[in-house]
Every structure is written in structure tokens, then in C-alpha cells.
A and B are shown apart, each in its own frame.
Chain A
Amino acid sequence: MSLIVAKDLSKTYSVGEIEVEAVKSVSFAIEPASFVSFIGPSGSGKSTLLNLIGCLDKPTSGTLTVADVVTAGLTRKEAAIFRGDNLGFIFQDFNLIPVLTVYENVEYPLLMVKNAPAEERKKRIIPLLETVGVIDQKDKYPSQISGGHKQRVAIARALVTNPRLVLADEPTANLDSKTAFKVIDIMRKMKDELGITFIFSTHDQAIVGEVETIFSLHDGVLVGITSGKGRDDV
């Protein structure tokens, strides 16, 4: 049973009179516990596709099933609950909440979305902060830590609710290549250990070199699916 199934998926934006077809009739499937990336030139529709999978946006036509749910039919509130239950997000700009400490940022989804009790939250957060390597920074505010550390915190935040799927739109674009590699390595480990699916969108060769499957987009059209080096059976 595939985690994600897209069939003839299209997304058209209308800007005034002009219609922009960001994604054109794309079909693919992604299995659980995969490590995949969408690649393609700027404007090829990578972010659009990730937003559709992430249940942040609705397709214009076609069907999309994520974790057995046809997400297009969800209301705003249902979509929010669905995201909280199944998805994790990692952003290019980290998007940590500036008024919360590292610990509190990771705590946020458990506290504000899941309403988990304090004891359980602590049990989840501390090991996770250790795994991503920011436990010594846990009481600092985002403005007090480096970009690499911020993205590690963001990974911890995305994983803390045990999602089935993590979506990362250009997660390494604001990191130097060495840091980027470390961050990818962490995600890779989490995928192996927890069986969580990671979907990236990227230009970064470091990521491209690490993923199992590469979906190439061009002008909103899926032009190729290739196996990457990260594939176990290669």
C-alpha cells in the first residue's frame, strides 16, 4: 500500500487574466519509509507539488491520496488536524518560533497540537534533541544559535509527533555544504530508524546524491523517475 498516490494531479494558479499551470497531470506513487526528492529548475512546480502533498493547498484536478486519505475533501480544520497527525514540515528558512526556546519549539506541536501531557513531552523531546545534536542548546532562543542548529531543531520539531511523512522544501538552501550534509545525514538516520518517509524538493546536489528516488520536474510535468545513490539496492 503506497503512502502517497497521485493520479493526473494538476494545479493551476490564476493571476488576474493569466493562468499558470504549475503542475500538469502528474502521476506517481511513494512508498512508506522512502527517502525521495523532487528536482527541477526554478518554477518547475516542486514547491507546488510539496504543498499539495502537505495538504496546504488543493489540486485543481486529479486525485491525491496521502496516508489513505483523499486530502482534497478536507475542510480547513480537518486539514489542520490531518497535518498535525500525519505530517512534519521542514522549511528552507527554518521557521522556528522566535519567542520560544529550542526546547519549547520542539515542544510546540506536542503541546499546542497534540495536547500531550508534560511528562510524555519531556520523554519525547530530550532523546530527540540528543539525536539531532542540539541538547546543549535547548534553553537558547533561535536567534542565539547557528543556521545548522536551527535546521536540526526544525527536524526535531517535525519528528516529535511521530509523523508518517516529513516534507522538506529546500531544507539545505540556507546552509553551507558541510552543514547541509550533516543535516541530511541526520534525516537519513531518522528515516532508517523510525521508518518515516522524507520528501524533499531541492536543487542541492548533496541531497540529490543521498536520496533513493529522484522525481524530475520540468515546467510542471514529471519528466523522469530515477533511482538515486541512496537506494539500498543499488
Chain B
Amino acid sequence: MSKLIKIAVRNLFRYKRRTLLTSSLIAIGVMFVLVFVAVAGSFKYMMVGQITDSMLGHLQVHKRGYVASIDSLPLTLNLTADEAATLESALGQIPEIEAFSSRLKFGGMFSNFIETTNIRINGVYGEEEIATLPLFPSRVVEGEATIRKGEILIPELLANGLKVTVGSNVVVIATNRDGSVNGRQFVVGGILASVTGPGGRDGYLHIEDAMEILRLDEMEISEVAIRLSDFGRLHDVNARLKQLLSPELDMQGKPVFDVRTWEGLSPFYNIARMIDMMTFFIRLMLIAIVLVSIMNVMIMAVFERIREIGTIAAIGTLPGTIRSLFLIEGFALGVLGAVVGNVLAWVVVAILSISNVSFNFGRETGLVLAPRLQVEDMLLISVIVIIVSVVAALQPAIKASRMEPVEALRHV
């Protein structure tokens, strides 16, 4: 084997410029793919983090049917106190759950006594909400990141539109399930920056104040947001929770609960999917580049060395050995390109990391891109490139091994 490698490597050195060109083409391709994967991955990771840690949580549970009409925040599809208790005990059985926050949601009117607009109210326990959404406090641009009784956190959109500030008196009015209208006065406790996605009109109250406006005697819950200690276990926990809740059926024999990961709740999931698709196509392009360039070089190599092939065949070199010789040449080219490409990618990612490239996403400004090369990505790309190199060399190598020595020797 080592003797074959020696000859293959020497042959690559024999055509230095061509080897250099082909391997740099491959190396640049590998670099682009790896840098793209690193940057896109970091972008995705950061965006998912923003969305799950400041708004959605990792998972949410609703009553079945709620999500379909989530825009109108239907009061008729809340979980009853009993159902909420069942859910809570199920959540308690899953150790991966770090925190969860029960929310009572409804749509209402918001007034500064002069003007009125609509608002989406989330009644929550402040500590639960913050434990579930660690980035929630960072959204509070004015006032305090606590949710006290009698206070309301309002979105920036409303604060600007109705010219209210922290400390202003405001009124929240809502229609309850029976159709009667009720209102209550609150003091603005804080102003919230919004995150991209629904939430531009989301205000926060203490859950008991929310119950009071809706005139509920008993606690009802519209949604429960859940945070995991390890995001990587998302789908396991999702499955486990679904399984734990599966015995709970309603009168029609359908499940009561609807468990979803953030992916089923945020439109950003489609962007994340698109990034994955793009990564896939970029990889495909790299494969095409490697395939074409290696095949081209190896076809040339075989053509230029026909007499040499005839000579070694005449001397008694077995067809299999001749084939290996060319395969190893393609393999060596692939390895060279992959190694150099990985090194280049590493350098580029290091430069990107220290140059603190930042960008804005929605209303979040100054998010710093932190591209990181994953060892698995580097290995995967390298393996793909090397395998494709060998595959590309296969046809020329087989052709070389099948040459008739007499004809090869006669070739000029």
C-alpha cells in the first residue's frame, strides 16, 4: 500500500501546477461549505435561542384546538384547573424540565383614558415566566422586570402609540366568556421590546389580576411554556410528555392536550429549515465540483500515461494494482483538498469570530455572530470529499487497468 501511495504522490508532484489548481479548487469549496455551515449554524442557533428564551420557551402545551385559533385567544379553549393539575404532575415527572410557566391569555382593549387600542394579555406568575424565559428581563427596556399585582408590562408599540410611560395609569378592558365586559385600572410597571414574531402586542399581568378581569372563580390556563435544562433533549422530552399525557382523553375520545416544540409554534422554524436546505444544496454543489475536477484531472492523467501503463502492465503489474494506483492518486488529491480546506475554514472562522460581526434581527440589535466549526461537520465534509474523489477516479482507473498492454505500448 505504501509503495502505491509513494508512486501516486510522486505523480501528483510531477504535474505540480495541475495538482495545485485542482486541490485549491477543492480546498476553496470545502472552506466555503464549512464557513457557511458555521455561520448559518451560529445564526440559526442564536435566532432559535432568542425566540425560545425570550418568548416561546422550548415546548408549549395547550388544550387541543387552541393553537389553531391562537390569534383570537379563545377563552373557551383554556385548560381547566383539573386539567392544569394533571399537566403539572406530568411535568413533574420529567427531570429534564428546568422550569415552566402557566399563562392565562386573552384579548382585550387597552386605554390611556383618551385613546383605546387592542392588546393581547398574558397573565403569568413573574418568577415562573422569568425562570422559563431567561431573556425575558432583557426585553424590559424601561421599568422593572417583575410582574406585580396591579401593574402591567406593555409592549413598546403601545407605549409609543398611546404615549404612556412607566407609572402611567391605564385601563384594561375584556369581555369574559359569558359576554359581559369588565375593566380594571393598572399602573404601567415596565415597557417591553418585542421579539420578531407574534408578540408585538403582548402585555403582561399578574395571573390573578387576569383572573379578576375575566371574573374567573377558578384558575384556568391557556398555555404552559416549558424550558428544558438541555435543549438537545427537545424531541425526547416532547415524546415523553406526549406519552405521559396520552391517557387524557376528552368526551369525544380525543386527547385533551396538545404538546408542541417551538418548531410547531414559530414561523422562524421555516427559516431554520431553509438554512438547512441551503446547506444541503451547497454541499451538493461541493460534491459536483469535486467530482468534475477530480474526474477531469484523472482522465488527463490516464491519457498522458498510456505508455507508462503499457510498460508496467507488460512487466507484470496486475490490473488491480494499476487500478489502485490511480484510485490512490484521486484519493490523495481529495485528502489534500480536504485538509487544506479545513485549515482555511478554521482560519476564516477564527477571523470572523475575533472581528465580532454583529447584525440586527427584528428589533434586537447588535447580536454578535459567533460562528463555530463543529468537529462533526469538518469530519463529514472531509469524508464526503474524499469518498467523492475516489469515486471520481474510479472510471479513469478502471479504464487504465483494462488497457491492452500492446496497444498502450504502441501509443505515442
A residues with a Cβ closer than 8 A to B are: 51, 54, 56-57, 76-77, 80-85, 87, 89, 91, 93, 95, 97-100, 108-109, 111-113, 157
Given A56-B406, A95-B308, A111-B3: A100 and B10 interface contact (C-beta under 8 Å): yes
Asked whether A99 lies within 8 Å of B7 as measured between CB atoms, the reply is yes
Asked whether B3 lies within 8 Å of A112 as measured between CB atoms, the reply is yes
* A89 to B314 alpha-carbon distance, docked (Å): 7
Grouping DSSP codes into helix (H, G, I), strand (E, B) and loop, the B interface class, with mixed when no group exceeds half, is helix
B318 surroundings in chain A (CB, below 8 A): 77, 80-81, 113
Asked whether A113 lies within 8 Å of B7 as measured between CB atoms, the reply is no
* A150 to B13 alpha-carbon distance, docked (Å): 22
Q: What are 6 residue pairs bridging A and B, where the CB atoms are less than 8 Å apart in the complex? A: A77-B318, A95-B310, A97-B7, A97-B311, A98-B14, A100-B10
Is residue B405 contacting chain A, with contact meaning CB distance below 8 A? yes
Asked whether B7 lies within 8 Å of A91 as measured between CB atoms, the reply is no
B314 surroundings in chain A (CB, below 8 A): 54, 56, 83, 89
Residues 291-329 of chain B, each 1 if its beta carbon lies under 8 Å from chain A, else 0 = 000000000000000011011111111110100000000
Which chain B residue has the least Cβ–Cβ distance from A163? B316
Is residue B11 contacting chain A, with contact meaning CB distance below 8 A? yes
Would you give the shortest CB distance from A9 to chain B, in whole angstroms? 16
Is residue B193 contacting chain A, with contact meaning CB distance below 8 A? no
Asked whether B316 lies within 8 Å of A84 as measured between CB atoms, the reply is yes
Asked whether A99 lies within 8 Å of B14 as measured between CB atoms, the reply is yes
B311 surroundings in chain A (CB, below 8 A): 89, 91, 95, 97
Is residue B409 contacting chain A, with contact meaning CB distance below 8 A? yes
Residues of B within 8 A of A (CB-CB), count: 23
Asked whether A99 lies within 8 Å of B11 as measured between CB atoms, the reply is yes
A80 surroundings in chain B (CB, below 8 A): 313, 316-319
* A116 to B312 alpha-carbon distance, docked (Å): 17
* A99 to B3 alpha-carbon distance, docked (Å): 13
* A95 to B312 alpha-carbon distance, docked (Å): 9
Interface pairs A-B: 7 shortest CB-CB: A84-B316, A99-B10, A95-B311, A113-B316, A83-B316, A56-B406, A56-B405
* A98 to B319 alpha-carbon distance, docked (Å): 20
B313 surroundings in chain A (CB, below 8 A): 80
Residues 1-40 of chain B, each 1 if its beta carbon lies under 8 Å from chain A, else 0 = 0010001001101100000000000000000000000000
Most buried by B among A57, A76, A81, A112: A112
Asked whether B307 lies within 8 Å of A81 as measured between CB atoms, the reply is no
B13 surroundings in chain A (CB, below 8 A): 99
Residues 103-140 of chain B, each 1 if its beta carbon lies under 8 Å from chain A, else 0 = 00000000000000000000000000000000000000
A82 surroundings in chain B (CB, below 8 A): 316
Most buried by A among B311, B315, B406: B315
B315 surroundings in chain A (CB, below 8 A): 83-84, 89, 108-109, 113, 157
* A77 to B401 alpha-carbon distance, docked (Å): 11
Which chain B residue has the least Cβ–Cβ distance from A84? B316
Would you give the shortest CB distance from A82 to chain B, in whole angstroms? 8
B409 surroundings in chain A (CB, below 8 A): 56, 91, 95
Which chain B residue has the least Cβ–Cβ distance from A167? B314
* A51 to B314 alpha-carbon distance, docked (Å): 10
* A56 to B3 alpha-carbon distance, docked (Å): 25
